[in-house]
Amino acid sequence: MVDAAPSLNTGDEVEAPAASLRLVGIVLAAACGLTVANLYYAQPLLALISTSLHVSESAATLVVTLTQIGYALGLIFVLPAGDLIENRTLVTRTLLGTALALLLAGLSPVFGVFLAVSVLVGLTSVVAQILVPFAAHLAPPAQRGRFVGQVMSGLLLGILLARTVASLIAQVWGWRAIYLISAGLMLVLCVVIRRVLPARPPSHTAGYRTLLASVVALARDEPVLRRLALSQACMFGAFTAFWTAIAYELINGHGLSQGEVGLFALVGAAGAAAAPVAGRFADRGWGRTARLGALLLGTASMVLAALGSSSLVLLAVSGVLLDFAVQGHQVMSQQVIYALRDDARARINTVYMGSVFIGGAVSSAVVGLLHDSSGWTGVAVFAAALPLAGAILWLTGPTTVTPRAVSPVASASSASPTA
């Protein structure tokens, strides 16, 4: 294939021309949204999956857990390669794997096979997190928070609209159809990304094993990164708890159909407005205070969900507020962590998003047990406690730093190539 998009960089840090940056931003936002959506298609379909594959509702929640575990594995073992392998090539090859995994998911004959393939779907959908640091490399420093926020808006819309689209398609063609349709979309994305996005060869020259070792070193040596990662893990745990259990609550407690569950999920798309707003807050230096506000808003939204469980309106409002809080906190946190090390943004994202999705996987596993024993109220109380734990982290240590381009980890990680 002939590359239509030339390389825009000669080093690790680039600034694209304004017109090119707008087009690249649109493609990045769309690609992030379409790929990350693969992680969330199953959430509103758990009742259908449990019936079709003859398992209990609590067993069906394992689909969410294992998909997120697969994603966490991809963040740990695939995402760091973004600092080693030319990014456009890495993305397109990974998307081919996503397409195959989705095809197998849509054709899975039994629950055990579907669970195994769910891990692969999560593992290969890590493309979205390769593209977010790519966006940070392309944007001028003064616009980085806003540009990353715009790309993250696409990612959040993918998360939020995934549930609506999956529900509506399942009502017409069955739950398997969304996986088959998404497989085709991944192939289309391969072509678009190859032809539109610029090439970005990273400056890191050490081998893969050294690269993974440097991820551990980053987590050890960057306390701000650890705190922000744990705080967002708490926020995402609340997000996962709410959206994993809400379909059961809406169907069993309020008598909604699968299509109506999809329409309910659509209201959460309003939370996408948080991304550009949060990016501007971060660019103006208001991020630290606004992050605490987002954590407290996350707790308040889940208290509202617990107290207002009898009202669809209050449940919808709590979902919007939670999505707004989660997305806002993430964008403002990423503005800080991407400034830590210009040469290690993919590995920084590995530590950050790996922690986030491990938190989500643990939360979804707990939700399966809580929903059986304590119902919706137990899930909502659990979800309310998680952002509060993140607020305690904010209060007890540093969550912002002076940016720097290179640290001792960089020297160690790029010293000499290894196999």
Judge whether 241 and 379 are in contact, CB under 8 Å: yes
With 90 as the cut, is the pLDDT of residue 106 above it?
A: yes
Judge whether 407 and 214 are in contact, CB under 8 Å: no
> Ramachandran region of residue 320, left (φ > 0), alpha (ψ -120 to 50) or beta?
alpha
**Prediction pTM value:** 0.73
Indicate whether 282 belongs to any domain.
yes
What is the number of structural domains in the chain?
1
Quick: pLDDT tens for 215-266. 888 888 888 899 999 999 999 999 999 988 888 889 888 888 878 888 888 7
Indicate whether 70 belongs to any domain.
yes
* Mean pLDDT score, 281-300: 82
List, in order, residues 6 or more apart from 258 with CB less than 8 Å away: 44, 45, 47, 48, 167, 170, 171, 251
Which of 12-16, 49-53, 315-319 bottoms out in mean pLDDT, i.e. has the lowest?
Answer: 12-16
Indicate whether 415 belongs to any domain.
no
* Mean pLDDT score, 190-200: 87
With 70 as the cut, is the pLDDT of residue 63 above it?
A: yes
Indicate whether 414 belongs to any domain.
no
* Mean pLDDT score, 83-94: 89
Kindly report the CATH number assigned to the domain that includes residue 115: 1.20.1250.20
The confidence score (pLDDT) of residue 12 equals 47
* Lookup result for tokens 């305690």: 392
Confidence of residue 417 (pLDDT cuts 50, 70, 90): very low
Quick: pLDDT tens for 325-355. 988 888 888 878 877 877 777 788 888 888 8
Indicate whether 241 belongs to any domain.
yes
For 289, the domain range is 18-403
Confidence of residue 159 (pLDDT cuts 50, 70, 90): confident
Indicate whether 408 belongs to any domain.
no
